Amino acid sequence: MTGTGDSDAGTTARRFALGRHGPVPPVLAGRYEVGERIGEGATACVHRAEDRETGAAVAVKLFHAGAVELGRNRRDQEIAALRAVRHPGLVGFVDAGVDEGYAYLVMDCVHGPNLSEWLRSGPLPADQVVELGAQLAEALAHVHAHEVTHRDLKPANILMSGEGPRIADFGVARIVDATRVTDTGAVVGTAAYLSPEQVLGEHPGPASDVYALGLVLLECLTGVREYPGTAAETAVVRLHRAPRVPSDAPEPLARTLRAMTMRNPEERPSAAAVARALRGTETLRLPLKTRLAVFGRHHRVSRRRAVLAAGLPVALVAAGTLLLTAPLRPGTESAPVPGPAPVSPPSSAAADSPDPAPWHPPVRSGRGPAHTTAPPPSTTTRTVTAPPGKANRPDRKPPKKPPGHPKKPRAPGNGPPRGRPPH
């Protein structure tokens, strides 16, 4: 697991790392040998560690002083519940407890940046936001089915591993209050991603996780945090203004984001419904590319044939236009060309006719290729048929009249006859 903050590559397992209230013990609970610090946030720091019982590499999150708020019995119950929740979209929970004044959380060690670091290079395309959101919503739905709420969902708690995005820090809010706000208005924890009910001091539930996920996906789409500033500022704004979904966002995604961030938690869809809605946006289900290729999950495009069918009429129109605008070369015959077949709009072709009738080229006549012309509406064309064996020459002058042929009398008053000078 990685975290935000400075790394301390020179720290060894035997060295004491300084916490907010003193040195970190080299071994926690007589089991976890603490190694280098790999990140630090507002409420905790993260260290690599080794589990002496299993020999596995783990990540230990050590919370700063004053974070412990649960009694031992209740904490043990929460730890047992969290240990039972397993899903590919979650960072595996190993252990949690308190030792030498430190509250700690032990998780599987996941290699890769978190989503907050990932977004430093810019926002994600809409199709990648859809895929990311669907996977995260599926993980949330699994946890909610076990009656567990995250309460602290944010980009820094989403790790981008080679197998897909994984949500970390489940259960942190059950062991410590990671979302409280100081008297000065500084953000401690995840105040920027709190739901309106959390701002009002109400008990958070699964709908709060859905709201937070909506803000996370909106940030992925825009590249900026929807409610920046101090905790007091973000609290006031979110209670008086709904999140602003970009007007150019694809409507299926925009509609889902608006539903996820409704102020009333009862009006928000469940995480399972969000996953189904995002999986249903077929026009956005494109292969993951560029930066999200690290996900490593290969999803088939369920509407591949429909997309091809939608593009076929456009190709036919382009081909027909090319044929109609080709010039008529001398030495070729004009052949009758069948009228164009009716072409349905691309949208209806994708939905109603996945296998359109094959298109046939113009009928060829004679040895040369068939050519067609499209004369302007105000002009007409005339085809002159040449004798057998000779090419058509529509511009050839008519033969001269034989000698002795009587001339047509000239009407009086029309001037001198042609070819003679006037008297």
Q: Looking up tokens 């101090």, which residue turns up?
A: 230
Q: Please say whether the beta carbons of 270 and 259 come within 8 A.
A: no
- d(CA 368, CA 385) in angstroms, rounded, equals 16
| Virtual torsion, Cα 308, 314, 318, 320, nearest 10 deg | 100
Residue 51 designated active-site? no
Helices (H) and strands (E) counted in the chain, each on its own, are: 11, 10
* Beta partners for residue 68, in sequence order: 176
- d(CA 20, CA 43) in angstroms, rounded, equals 9
- d(CA 5, CA 122) in angstroms, rounded, equals 19
407 labelled as ligand-binding? no
- d(CA 46, CA 53) in angstroms, rounded, equals 20
DSSP annotation string for 65-83: TT-B-S-HHHHHHHHHHHH
Q: Please say whether the beta carbons of 170 and 158 come within 8 A.
A: no
- d(CA 100, CA 127) in angstroms, rounded, equals 47
- d(CA 149, CA 145) in angstroms, rounded, equals 10
Q: H/E element holding 322?
A: helix 304-324
Catalytic one of 95, 108, 127, 152 = 152
The pair of three-digit structure tokens given for residue 156, joined into one six-digit string: 């820094």
- d(CA 183, CA 152) in angstroms, rounded, equals 20
Q: Please say whether the beta carbons of 105 and 113 come within 8 A.
A: no
DSSP annotation string for 339-374: PPPP---HHHHHHH-SSPPPP-PPPP-SSSPP----
**Length of the chain in terms of residues written:** 423
Q: Looking up tokens 């993951």, which residue turns up?
A: 288
Active site (catalytic) residues: 152
Annotated binding-site residues read: 61
Binding-site residues from annotation for ATP: 61
